[in-house]
Chain A
């Protein structure tokens, strides 16, 4: 009999191929819209309004917001990919194909998460290319930039799986993105430095985990940010560990996926 480890390695590759094929097949829905949104953000906020704003934290306004806009696309698409793919598989019941197969729950989680990371990275890269029309996009610390974007998309992909496990209908997979993720992202310092905020709001902002991700990414690109890079990594990794543990526990108990 084939070893279960060997089975799971092939199963993982199969899942990743399937996930990538899924979002590439519907690229008009999954890849193009974030690039168009980013183009509009950069045109309106970066060029039209940005020219009146002047500098932010010592950078041109467009240079300041580009890392945040890229990160917003990464967060939204990583989350959106895993939540829609996992919920779609539950809704159409083809998740059962995985549940009856000898695939560890950790591999199932990893497959969906890597799918989300791939889409997040692809969209993030596309938005970065779009930004070249507006700025030079000099990357100060490439390794930190890549590490932050991979970890952040991992975190939100796991979040997407957790959301879909509890979802009973399509409404339930849009509540978190619309009413939690979007506000946290917009208030996470995409368009402003938290140093501009009054003390109370600045203090409150430190409880927003997205702030650490956007600023970590901004540090990678611009070489400076509102938050130290150490704190950024720590917050992201701690959240990954917590959410991964929750997601695995849910899958092991069969919440939402088994009777």
Chain B
């Protein structure tokens, strides 16, 4: 069964801006799906419509086979949303926030408290349960929103940039948690500017730009179509002049750092042989950017802004 099926989704705002131009999207049950796109591409609008925070102009959405327009409340029971902005009542404690949210989904107070305990413990917030949510760190607030979205145990979890502004250690622990949630059967749709995150977590991806899906498919299939990749090589000594490499492009050579662009499928041994022949010793190498990011930038046809280009640099 399809967890989400979107057909011809269009959104035109009152000011005439068309945020979505006939989006078609399918997410299979159990998938970990990335919805990527530059700022203003229409990701949050699409998520807003799916979660009933934004009114669609045209199109249809089915959640686990149920039509969102005619069976909206049944659909809402199946969806959990982690929005981009912090949107809980900061005057309430984490425990109250979760118990209240569970109540909105018809969960009795007794069960709500049990579930809240479960998710607050899983997300390492149990110690903070009676504290002021306003005083929690950014990472804790993000985790609290994930716990809140899970408290009614949705079948489809939508995460709109859940790790924005979260340090790498917490981000990775959140990845692990989300992978566990996904492997227990929850379908997850993720939007993120950290393309390493999408490449690590997601099996399928759709790239949206200017309100249109420009690419959709399995992450591995898309990456196999990536034409080039760049590597940064750390050298033992600074070369006297940039090396001459046949079949590879030297992007830059500065000090003991060499950046090389090569076609996907090129033999790395050839590169090393040519460098060795010029008495250049390589002590380490890494991807300049992760592969999905390179694919994404080429597809959306522009340089990402600094905000769009956050990456931790995938190791080769």
**Residues of chain A whose beta carbon lies under 8 Å from any beta carbon of chain B:** 1-2, 4, 6-11, 13-15, 17-18, 21, 25, 89, 92-94, 96-104, 254, 258-259
The smallest C-beta distance from A104 to any residue of chain B, in angstroms, reads 7
Q: Is the CB of A259 within 8 A of B13?
A: yes
- Which single residue of chain A is at the shortest CB-CB distance from B148? A97
Q: Which chain A residues lie closer than 8 Å to B73 at the CB level? A: 4, 7, 102-104
User: Within the assembled complex, what's the spacing in Å between the Cα atoms of A183 and B130?
Assistant: 43
Find B87's partner among A17, A25, A92 (CB 8 Å cutoff): A92
Q: Is the CB of A97 within 8 A of B101?
A: yes
Q: Which chain A residues lie closer than 8 Å to B53 at the CB level? A: 96, 99-100, 258-259
Q: Is the CB of A2 within 8 A of B91?
A: no
User: Within the assembled complex, what's the spacing in Å between the Cα atoms of A13 and B100?
Assistant: 10
Question: With A102-B74, A258-B54 in contact, do A92 and B103 touch (Cβ < 8 Å)?
Answer: no
User: Within the assembled complex, what's the spacing in Å between the Cα atoms of A99 and B48?
Assistant: 11
Interface residues of B in 74-107 (CB under 8 A from A): 74, 76-77, 79, 81, 83, 85-91, 96, 100-101, 103-107
Q: Is the CB of A11 within 8 A of B74?
A: no
Question: With A6-B106, A97-B101 in contact, do A254 and B55 touch (Cβ < 8 Å)?
Answer: yes
User: Within the assembled complex, what's the spacing in Å between the Cα atoms of A21 and B77?
Assistant: 26
B29 at the interface (CB under 8 A from A): no
User: Can you list, as one digit per residue, whether each of B38-76 has a CB less than 8 Å from chain A (1) or not (0)?
Assistant: 000000010010011111000000000000000011101
Q: What are 21 pairs between A and B in contact, CB < 8 Å?
A: A1-B77, A4-B74, A7-B73, A7-B106, A10-B107, A11-B104, A11-B105, A14-B103, A14-B104, A15-B103, A89-B89, A96-B83, A97-B87, A97-B100, A100-B52, A100-B81, A101-B104, A102-B73, A102-B106, A103-B73, A259-B13
Q: Is the CB of B52 within 8 A of A99?
A: yes
Q: Is the CB of B87 within 8 A of A94?
A: yes
Q: Which chain A residues lie closer than 8 Å to B89 at the CB level? A: 89, 92, 94
User: Within the assembled complex, what's the spacing in Å between the Cα atoms of A17 and B109?
Assistant: 11
- Counting chain A CB atoms within 10 Å of each CB, the highest count among B13, B100, B101 belongs to B100
**Residues of chain B whose beta carbon lies under 8 Å from any beta carbon of chain A:** 13, 45, 48, 51-55, 72-74, 76-77, 79, 81, 83, 85-91, 96, 100-101, 103-108, 148
The smallest C-beta distance from A166 to any residue of chain B, in angstroms, reads 16
User: Within the assembled complex, what's the spacing in Å between the Cα atoms of A150 and B103?
Assistant: 26
Q: Which chain A residues lie closer than 8 Å to B101 at the CB level? A: 97, 101
Pick the 8 closest A-B CB pairs, nearest first. A14-B103, A7-B106, A101-B104, A102-B73, A93-B87, A102-B76, A10-B106, A94-B89
The smallest C-beta distance from A20 to any residue of chain B, in angstroms, reads 12
Q: Which chain A residues lie closer than 8 Å to B88 at the CB level? A: 94, 97
Given contacts A1-B74, A8-B106, A97-B101, 17 further A-B contacts (CB under 8 A): A1-B77, A10-B106, A11-B104, A11-B106, A13-B103, A15-B103, A89-B89, A94-B89, A97-B88, A97-B104, A97-B148, A98-B104, A102-B74, A102-B77, A258-B54, A259-B45, A259-B55
Q: Which chain B residues lie closer than 8 Å to A102 at the CB level? A: 72-74, 76-77, 104-106
Q: Is the CB of A92 within 8 A of B90?
A: yes
Q: Which chain A residues lie closer than 8 Å to B55 at the CB level? A: 254, 258-259
User: Within the assembled complex, what's the spacing in Å between the Cα atoms of A6 and B100?
Assistant: 16
Q: Is the CB of A101 within 8 A of B105?
A: yes
Q: Which chain A residues lie closer than 8 Å to B74 at the CB level? A: 1, 4, 102
Q: Which chain B residues lie closer than 8 Å to A89 at the CB level? A: 89
Q: Which chain A residues lie closer than 8 Å to B81 at the CB level? A: 100
Q: Is the CB of A96 within 8 A of B77?
A: no
The smallest C-beta distance from A89 to any residue of chain B, in angstroms, reads 8
The smallest C-beta distance from B140 to any residue of chain A, in angstroms, reads 17
User: Within the assembled complex, what's the spacing in Å between the Cα atoms of A93 and B87?
Assistant: 5
Q: Is the CB of A10 within 8 A of B108?
A: yes
The smallest C-beta distance from A251 to any residue of chain B, in angstroms, reads 12
Q: Which chain B residues lie closer than 8 Å to A96 at the CB level? A: 53, 83, 87
User: Within the assembled complex, what's the spacing in Å between the Cα atoms of A1 and B76?
Assistant: 12
User: Within the assembled complex, what's the spacing in Å between the Cα atoms of A97 and B79?
Assistant: 12
- Which single residue of chain B is at the shortest CB-CB distance from A254? B55
Q: Is the CB of A10 within 8 A of B103?
A: yes
User: Within the assembled complex, what's the spacing in Å between the Cα atoms of A258 and B45?
Assistant: 11
The smallest C-beta distance from A6 to any residue of chain B, in angstroms, reads 6
The smallest C-beta distance from B90 to any residue of chain A, in angstroms, reads 7
The smallest C-beta distance from B230 to any residue of chain A, in angstroms, reads 39
- Which single residue of chain B is at the shortest CB-CB distance from A18? B100
User: Within the assembled complex, what's the spacing in Å between the Cα atoms of A1 and B54?
Assistant: 25
The smallest C-beta distance from B74 to any residue of chain A, in angstroms, reads 7
- Which single residue of chain A is at the shortest CB-CB distance from B80? A100
Q: Which chain B residues lie closer than 8 Å to A25 at the CB level? A: 91
- Counting chain B CB atoms within 10 Å of each CB, the highest count among A1, A92, A101 belongs to A101
Q: Is the CB of A100 within 8 A of B79?
A: yes
The smallest C-beta distance from A224 to any residue of chain B, in angstroms, reads 45
Q: Which chain B residues lie closer than 8 Å to A11 at the CB level? A: 103-106
The smallest C-beta distance from B95 to any residue of chain A, in angstroms, reads 13
Q: Which chain A residues lie closer than 8 Å to B106 at the CB level? A: 2, 6-11, 102
- Which single residue of chain A is at the shortest CB-CB distance from B106? A7
User: Within the assembled complex, what's the spacing in Å between the Cα atoms of A94 and B108?
Assistant: 21
The smallest C-beta distance from B52 to any residue of chain A, in angstroms, reads 6
The smallest C-beta distance from A25 to any residue of chain B, in angstroms, reads 7
- Counting chain A CB atoms within 10 Å of each CB, the highest count among B13, B53, B85 belongs to B53
